[in-house]
A = this chain, B = another copy of it.
Amino acid sequence: MSKCRINNEIRKLRFLSNEMTQQELADRTGVTRQTIVAIENGKYSPTLELAFRIAEVFKLPLEDIFTYQTDDDGKK
């Protein structure tokens, strides 16, 4: 198919949320800090469930945090 990737705004959103630390986001989503680090840095993408929990912390729709990039998405 295509090399589609998932980007996320977690790091940005942490800082906009009163500079929330990785540890706090980890606590609030029920995972370890290392998991947050891995996701922020694109090591792998989270399960749908974790993605929803993160979205909930920031009180944003999931797609405001994670974006899926397709090839035909014509971004220049």
Contacts and interface: CB of A to CB of B under 8 A. Distances in A.
Interface of A: 1, 4, 6, 30, 45-49, 51-53, 55-56, 61-63, 66, 68, 70
A6 B51 CA distance: 11
Chain B CB within 10 A, most for which of A45, A48, A63 = A48
Contacts of A30: 1
Task: Give this chain's copy count.
Answer: 2
Contact of A48 (B1, B56, B66, B70): B66
A63 B63 contact: yes
B1 A52 contact: no
A38 to B, nearest CB: 13
A45 B1 CA distance: 22
